[in-house]
Amino acid sequence: MKLFINTLGELDIKTEGQYVLRQSEHTYKIYKLFEYFLTFKNKKLLAETIIDNLLSDTDSDDPKNMLHTQIFRLKKIIKDFLPENAEESKYLTIDFTNGYYILKIGENTVIDVDEFESLIKQGDLEQRHNIKTAADFYEKALKLYRGLYFADNSYEIWLVPARNYYQRLYLKTFCKLINILKETNEGDKIIALCEEALLIEPYEENIHIYLMEAMLAQKQQKTVLNQ
């Protein structure tokens, strides 16, 4: 059984077709910690670094102990996501080794950003040989982008680089797909994709331009004026 983690848009977790994340005011800080570990997955993290990023405003006299408690709670929550008697190493584990914490991603866990990047890379490879196949890969990748990376989180300093990276990758891939569809004269599809994209990126000028160009090509002057 696979565990699917959505990070593009709001954090969510799905297994066996069911969403299993249950957030509350009592778990907000724990899920924020989870988002931090997911952002730096498979990387060694010092407790001091995590504290500086997540607990710098705490009044605790012992922030290391507070972090240890939060990680303990996070491990328990993660375990609740997993099937009964599941081998945790095949899903998610938080290890502490030689002074470092590390979130390890197992073979049974699929994270949308990894799939997102993989599909785009496949599209880039196919673009040299078959633009139609490349377009299919790009379209599948774009469907995974449901909004800003961890859109439910405020603009934490540690979050900004990853959020900007995935947003730029989305917009760049969108442009690649539109240019292919222009070559294949698929105006209707361009209009549909632009309208979907504007729900996610309403202030992105290039998307508005692509939409109006496609409408003009279909003699929809009144619609262009409205746009």
Indicate which CATH number applies to the domain containing 86.
Answer: 1.10.10.10
Last residue of a domain, one of 70, 90, 109: 109
What are the tens digits of pLDDT across the range 24-37?
Answer: 555 788 999 999 99
Last residue of a domain, one of 57, 89, 109: 109
What are the tens digits of pLDDT across the range 69-88?
Answer: 999 999 998 888 887 888 99
In this structure, the answer to whether residues 116 and 70 fall within a common structural domain is no
The residue range of the domain holding 61 is 3-109
In this structure, the answer to whether residues 37 and 104 fall within a common structural domain is yes
Q: Residue 214 has what pLDDT? A: 87
Task: Give the pairing type, strands 12-15 and 3-6.
Answer: antiparallel
Q: Residue 84 has what pLDDT? A: 80
Last residue of a domain, one of 89, 109, 129: 109
Q: Residue 164 has what pLDDT? A: 96
- Please tell me the total count of domains within the chain: 2
- Those residues of the chain that have pLDDT short of 50 are none
